[in-house]
Amino acid sequence: MCNRIADTDISPETEKRYWSKHSIYRVPSHIKNLNRDAYSPQVVSFGPFHHGEPHLRPMEEHKQRALMHFVKRVKVRFDDLAAAMYEEVQQLQDAYQKLDEVFINEDRFVKLMIVDGCFMLEVMRETAYLAGNYASNDPIFSRHGLLYIFPCIRSDMLIIENQLPLLLLKKLVAVETGQPPNGDRINRLVLEFLATASQPLAAGVGMGLHPLDVFRKSMLLQSPPRCSRPLTDAELASSHIIRPAVELYEAGLRFKKSETQSLRDIQFSHGVLSLPVIMVDDGTEYMFLNLMAFESLHIDAGAEVTCYMYLMTGIINSAKDVSLLNSQGIIRHLIESDKAVAEMFNRLSKDLVLDPESSLDDVHRMVSSYRQKPWRRLRANLVRTYAYFRSPLAAVPLAAASILLFLTIMQTVYTVLSYYQQNNFSSGPPPPSPPSLH
């Protein structure tokens, strides 16, 4: 079996079929250089790309224990699991881009899939197994593991190079239950572990490619926003450059929370930009880097997460921008400071591009055009100069300046009126002569 295109067969149809098989990718250097740690698992390897790395070897013992628990509970032999995997081995191998030679061997690959797949299933069902299937002091499958190890495993399951095809989990569950589960059940199983607060994917959407794909889809449940009106000529001609949140606020734009947490639920109407709530913690940066890497490498994925991040890295430049969005309930964070959040978004801004066919293209143009209107810039300059909305005491010099401007205008009007009155008097009939005294 071969995991590459034959040198003698490079027809467009063959190449199309070949590229469409891949869904789990090695991250190229130009992407990985942004943050190499973000694309490497910390505690456990899933699949062939990071298997055997020294810092991940301690978990291999626990994988073997999980396999034994699975086999004992399901009452099947390892050979039964292997037989099910061999039915789909071609498709499972094809899911990986550039397999190492060692895993071209079907026997080694199938064994790896079974061990890693059973471990992932056991982990995702941890709440059921805390009631006696494992020892109470088990280092992984216990309340201790739930608190200290499972958050790390969740993070590792969102790394693009550390994925397992969901077809593998489907085959294992089919052996376990004696009947093939539908894709919705597998999607739900993954989301219940990775994103407990998210809504389930709609029934019938089809089984995801792998856990990262299902997690991404759960972030994009809302339909893309539609522009409520045609763009004006000025908006069509505007750039995609968006000023930071504080500058937009000074120009009169207001922020509010979207009705859902979908990254697609972003709209701009009547000077109000609606954004979904985002929770920022220590794993947020790695999560978004892997989601955006998947979008850049998997042609059929779309670019919604990347476009959302393009918008957010535009309106977040400093701690003040984070503080403003925090005050509107749009950003909530669990890290040390607003400055740290701003620095994270600044790092994520590197090499981002906006898809011109994105549903956010209109939003970018409308917001950019809104800030460019002359009176908006004048308002922003006044607010920035006197900080009227940030300090009650600053209203005093602003009021004084306003009064001075009013008096200057009145003085000018009075001078002009006096001038015209004088001219009218001079151009009228001569005054009567005084009466003669003689």
pTM: 0.83
Amino acid code (one letter) for 68? M
Sheet holding 254-257, edge to edge: 254-257, 272-275, 267-269
DSSP letters along 304-349, please?
A: HHHHHHHHHHHH--SHHHHHHHHHTTSEEE-SS-HHHHHHHHHHHT
**CA separation for the pair 24, 294 (Å, rounded):** 8
pLDDT for the residue 195 = 87
pLDDT for the residue 388 = 45
**CA separation for the pair 290, 97 (Å, rounded):** 16
pLDDT for the residue 270 = 87
Task: Spell out the domain ranges in the chain.
Answer: 12-218, 233-373, 387-419
pLDDT tens readout for residues 72-114: 988 999 999 999 999 999 999 999 998 998 899 999 999 999 9
pLDDT for the residue 336 = 87
pLDDT tens readout for residues 310-331: 999 999 999 999 999 999 999 9
Those residues with Cβ within 8 angstroms of residue 80's Cβ, 6 or more apart along the chain or in another chain: 175
**CA separation for the pair 249, 257 (Å, rounded):** 15
At 287, list the tokens: 């999560």
3-state secondary structure of 174: helix
Ranges in the chain, pLDDT < 50 = 1, 375-376, 378-380, 388-389, 437-438
Q: Which residues of 120-139 are buried (b: 16+ CB within 10 A; e: fewer)?
A: bbbbbbbeebbeebbeeebe
Q: Which residues of 313-325 are buried (b: 16+ CB within 10 A; e: fewer)?
A: bbbbbbbbbbbbb
Number of H helices, E strands in the chain: 21, 5
Residue 421 near residue 414 (C-beta atoms within 8 A):
no
Say which residue the tokens 């509010």 belong to: 256
